[in-house]
Structures are given as C-alpha cells and as structure tokens.
Amino acid sequence: MPTLVSRSIEHWRLLGMLAAILTGASAAAYGLAAGDSEGLRAVIRLTARTSLTLFLMAFVASALARLQPAAPTRWLRRNRRQLGLAFALSHGIHLVAIVLLARRDPLLFWQLTTLGNIVSGGLAYLFIAAMAATSFDRSAAWIGPRAWRLLHWTGTHYIWISFIVANGKRIPASGWYLVPVGLLGIALALRLAAKLRAGSRQAPA
Ligand code: HEM
C-alpha cells in the first residue's frame, strides 16, 4: 500500500505538492507569528529547516538506494531531482524573507547576520541557482556531463558545509542544533559507504 501511494506521488506532481506545502507553511508561519519582523524571522527559521530536510533527502538518495535497495529508497532516488528543486524553492523563500527583513528592520537584520555570512551565503545561493537551472534535461545536456558533475558535486558539498556552519555556530545557544549537525554527518558517512561499496564491487577479484 505505501508503495502504491508513493508511486502516484512522483516527479513533477511531487514537486507541485512540495511547492504548495512550502508556500502554505511559510504563509502560516508568518501569520502565526503575527506578521512583521517576527513573522519574517519565523519564515527564515522554518525554511532553513525545510531546506535541510529536502537537501538531506536528495543528498543521500543514490547512496541509500545502493546500500539498501528497496521500494522507498528507489522512490527517493527516482525523485531526487524534484527533491533538489524543492530544496532550491525552500531556500528561495529563505532568501525572500531575509531581503524583506533587511528592508523592514535593518537594525535587527545586522544583529542577526554579518557581512561574512552574506558573502558565504551568497556563494551558496549562486550554486543553488546554477544547480537548479541545470536540473532539467535540456539544460543538463547543454552544459555536458563533465561540467554538470563538477558543478553539482562542488555545489552540493559547499551547501553541506554551509549547513554545518549555520547550525554548528548556533550550538552554544541551544544543544538542539547538534541534531542537524549529526544528521549531516550521518548523510556524508552514508555517501562514503556507498562509494566504498561501489569501488569494492568494481575491483577485480
Ligand atoms: C545571504 C545569505 C544568508 C543570509 C543573510 C541568512 C540569514 C539568516 C538569518 C538572519 C537567520 C536567523 C533568523 C533568526 O534567528 O531569526 C538565518 C538562519 C539560518 N540560516 Fe540563513 N541566511 C543565508 C543563507 C543561508 C544558507 C546558504 C544556509 C544553508 C545552506 C542557511 C542556513 C540557515 C540555518 C540552518 C539557520 C538557522 C535556522 C534555525 O534556527 O533553525 N542560511 N539565516
């Protein structure tokens, strides 16, 4: 039964559903926090977390399908492109809320961030935009498989580091930030394990 459900929610339908959930949840978070700057902060925090969830799903999809082939992991691998695009959308909402906060309350904005954050986060956004733009058959074919692999490998790992830094620096404020850092560590370990397994399968007997 779960297989039937997951089979009907695939590819572009999945992306449409995720887009509706992300925009609806962001509007609700803004409204529940009574709008204004607090509402924008709620949207920034919410989308940082939805982005991490979607990023992790796309990041481990192929590794999990290799290590543990089963219907759910194959579903994850088949839909990793749409999960990646949903991550880009979620982080796009993060950016819109950041820009609105900076315009509405510059004093608060500069208490929450630094120029260094903007430069390193800006580079992450350049990668996200380039990766999203090349996540369609035509654009992927246009840049070619070598450039595509280089862009997506570098971008993905840069974003992984960005999440480690963004969550890691908040650990002194709350131990809960150890959870995302731990999940990111496990995700990287899964990818390395899958790579090692693929390597050992290819090695001559
Ligand atoms: C120009 C780039 C960026 C700026 C200016 C920025 C700004 C902010 C601000 C102001 C907050 C704090 C909101 C609050 O506490 O009320 C925040 C939270 C956060 N951001 Fe961003 N951000 C940027 C890019 C990124 C990127 C690229 C990532 C990760 C890939 C990221 C991940 C996070 C995380 C994990 C949080 C913590 C959310 C939580 O409390 O759970 N940000 N960001």
Ligand 1 within 6 A of CB of 159? yes
Q: Calculate how far, in angstroms, residue 131's C-alpha sits from the geometric centre of ligand 1.
A: 20
Q: Is 171 in the pocket of ligand 1 (CB under 6 A)?
A: no
pLDDT tens digits, residue range 9-53? 889 999 999 999 999 999 999 998 887 999 999 999 999 999 999
Domain segments of the chain: what residues?
2-200
- For the entire predicted model, the pTM comes to 0.93
The preferred substitution site among 49, 50, 94, 169 for testing ligand 1, maximizing ligand atoms within 8 Å of CB, is: 94
Each residue of 151-183: pLDDT tens digit? 999 999 999 999 999 999 999 999 999 999 999
- Of 105, 89, 86, the C-alpha closest to 39 is 105
